[in-house]
Structure 1
């Protein structure tokens, strides 16, 4: 485990300044561990009683303010008892009686009045609070915070920890001007603190702890591949290493090929973390963000900013523009989940696409896709929830079904690019027994109503993609979504074309 507190260097300074603030990060990134370590360090210094506790049990209360308050106060007391603190630091038992809607304020005030130390509280899993319970809680925190200069005893520092940034707590209380502005105590910085992903050096440091403990080494290529696949997402970094060392039972030095195998096993198993990601895809706020990313389309709704912030807080997309999926593993999971319906309709045998020399028969795959597209495309497009990205999702599902048995698919897509790039990597054995990798590149474009033929733009984009991959040829797929598109029975024509740099490529019009 990496030392937690260096991952939140600003938090200690803000607590020393008696500030109220938010720490947010996606699930399973180490938030709770970091907070517990920080609270233990603060308490051990002797001037502060710092306590971390979960708000999760209060989720069931929703709009029942009194029940929500009881749940929160019970969680505080239970966490304090588990801490092993001396009696003089523990909260009052019982809590003082108060009217529902003011019990948090009254209870915390009485605790702070009695405590010989400054009280610092970490409200972990704050996202669990919903409805009127959340509104009442935030308003009470605001009132207690603002009354401190008048001598009102109250926690000197409060940290809300969850998935969301402070702006989403403001959204949670609605726009009713009659309600209080509960976020004002938390406006201490332009951005609330975000627990970041691991750097490549931190992954190496983490894995080196395993090497020191067991003697088993992660090669530099393996570490680089882990960072490339995960972009440092902490749960993925740990899950891949656990999959290799425990479930796969690898005993020697760990290499990049085993990282690739572990990634595939995690995705196939739909581990809890990845299952939670999949469940998010059909939330309206997430769909509004993800559909243009998969389709390569531009955002046209000026209200998308809040949805983008929400998706970033969940860790689904990159923190900086242009919006794209946070890491290659998520990219693969998203397209697999969205393409599941299509995969159920694919009956071709993946083994039949392997040539006698062990290479993959891409030309035959494209021909088989044309047959599939003519027969099922129209129905699948109508049934696809991500309607604007339906063509990309269907082809990706077809490729995944027939390639992933013995090869790998690398996908690149982002909002505003007007394309989806695909690289097929197919391992095979050469005539002299050497291990070779066949690489085939494809680019997907969509011809929409009112637009010009995207072929010239697609050839230029494919040219740049092939140049980056150092490949001499590729495939451009153009899906026609115009009302005047040819009948479905006539779709799927092939032609040869030349890119601006002179590469010969195949164009498939669907």
Structure 2
């Protein structure tokens, strides 16, 4: 485990400045561990009594303020009792009897009035609170914060920790969402803190702890591949290593190939973290963000910024524009989940697409897809929840069903690109037994109603993709979604075309 506190040095500085602030990050990134460690470190230094407590037990009391306050105060007392503190730092034996809506703030004041140190409070899982209960707790914190300068005993610093960004708490506690407003204590800094993902060096440091304990090493290529696949998402970084060591039972030096195998196993098993991620995809707020990303379309709804913020807070998409899926593992999970219905309708035998020399027969696969598309495409598009991205999802599911038994699919997609890039990687043995890798690149485009034929743009985009991959040829697939498109039974024509740089490529229109 990496030392948590150095990952967020700003938090200590804000505590020392007696600030109220927000820490947010997606689930499974180390927030709770960091809070507990920071609280322990601050208390050990002798001037502060810092306590971290979870609000999760109160999540069932949406608008029951009295019950929420009771649960929170019970959690606070339990956390203090387990801290090992001397008695003089602990809260009073009984809380003041106050009316609902004031009891939490008055209890904190009672504790601060008897504690000889500055009290610092970390409220973890704050977004477990909902409705009137959340508003009440935040309002009590706001009131206590605002009268501290008059000598009112109250926590010197409070951190709210959860999934959501600063804006949500400013609104709930009485502040304006998009401007500095003195009504909310949670705007003392203009932006909240975000616990970041691991860097490549931090992944290497984490894995080196395992090496020091067991002498089992990770190659540099393995560490680099972990970063490429996870972009440093802490749960994924740990899960890949655990899969290799514990589940796969690898005992020697860990290689990039084993990282690739572990990725496939994690995705197939739909581990808890990935399964909870997938369950979000059909939430309306998430769908409004993810559908343009998968389809490559633009964001044209000016009200979509809240949805983008929500998806970023969940860790689903990158923190900076253009919006794209946060890491390659999430990209695969999302397309596999969305394409599950299509996969159930693919009955071809994957082994039948392997050529005698061990290579993969991509031209035959595309011919089989045409047959599949003519038979099932219209129905699958109508049933697909992500209607704007249905074509891309269906082809991806077809490819996955037939390629992933012996090869790999790499997908790249982002909002505003008007395309989806696909790379098929297929390992095989050469004439002398050497391990080789077949690579086939595809570009997916959609011809939408009222638009021009996307072929010229697609050829230019495919050209750039092939340049990046240093490949001589590829495939451009164009889905025709216009009302005047040919009848379904007539779709699926192949043609040859020349890219702007002179490459000969295959064009498939379906």
TM-score (norm 1): 0.98
Q: Find the counterpart in structure 1 of residue 286 from structure 2.
A: 286
Q: Find the counterpart in structure 1 of residue 130 from structure 2.
A: 130
Question: CA contact under 8 A between 1:141 and 1:182: conserved in structure 2?
Answer: no
1:416: how far off?
Answer: 0.2
Q: Find the counterpart in structure 1 of residue 437 from structure 2.
A: 437
Change (3 A) 1:82 1:144: same
Q: Find the counterpart in structure 2 of residue 15 from structure 1.
A: 15
Structure 1 alignment gaps of length 5 or more: none
1:176: how far off?
Answer: 11
Question: CA contact under 8 A between 2:26 and 2:315: conserved in structure 1?
Answer: yes
* In 1: Cα distance, 2:199 partner to 2:254 partner: 19
* In 2: Cα distance, 1:171 partner to 1:260 partner: 44
Are residues 1:244 and 2:248 paired?
no
Give 3-state SS (helix, strand or coil) of 2:497's partner: strand
* In 2: Cα distance, 1:88 partner to 1:62 partner: 34
Change (3 A) 1:364 1:341: same
Deviations 1:382-436 (A, max 9, x none): 1111110000000000000000000000000000000000000000111110001
Q: Find the counterpart in structure 2 of residue 264 from structure 1.
A: 264
Deviations 1:289-339 (A, max 9, x none): 110000000000001111111111111111111110000000000000000
Deviations 1:344-400 (A, max 9, x none): 111111111111111101011001100110111111111111110000000000000
Deviations 1:214-242 (A, max 9, x none): 10110011011000000000000010001
Q: Find the counterpart in structure 2 of residue 235 from structure 1.
A: 235
1:151: how far off?
Answer: 1.2
Question: CA contact under 8 A between 2:170 and 2:186: conserved in structure 1?
Answer: no
Are residues 1:386 and 2:394 paired?
no
Q: Find the counterpart in structure 2 of residue 466 from structure 1.
A: 466
Give 3-state SS (helix, strand or coil) of 1:252's partner: coil
Change (3 A) 1:40 1:499: same
* In 2: Cα distance, 1:143 partner to 1:344 partner: 57
1:169: how far off?
Answer: 2.6
Deviations 1:249-299 (A, max 9, x none): 101111100000000000000001101110111111111111000000000
Are residues 1:64 and 2:64 paired?
yes
Q: Aligned ranges for residues 130-149 of structure 1 at < 5 Å?
A: 130-149=130-149
Q: Find the counterpart in structure 1 of residue 253 from structure 2.
A: 253
TM-score (norm 2): 0.98
Question: CA contact under 8 A between 1:170 and 1:182: conserved in structure 2?
Answer: no
* In 2: Cα distance, 1:159 partner to 1:249 partner: 41
Give 3-state SS (helix, strand or coil) of 2:60's partner: helix
Are residues 1:204 and 2:201 paired?
no
* In 2: Cα distance, 1:412 partner to 1:299 partner: 18
* In 1: Cα distance, 2:174 partner to 2:271 partner: 35
* In 2: Cα distance, 1:491 partner to 1:100 partner: 67
* In 2: Cα distance, 1:385 partner to 1:52 partner: 41
Moved over 6 A (4+): 173-177
Q: Find the counterpart in structure 2 of residue 313 from structure 1.
A: 313
1:87: how far off?
Answer: 1.3
1:168: how far off?
Answer: 2.0
* In 2: Cα distance, 1:113 partner to 1:210 partner: 46
Question: CA contact under 8 A between 1:475 and 1:506: conserved in structure 2?
Answer: yes
Give 3-state SS (helix, strand or coil) of 1:226's partner: helix
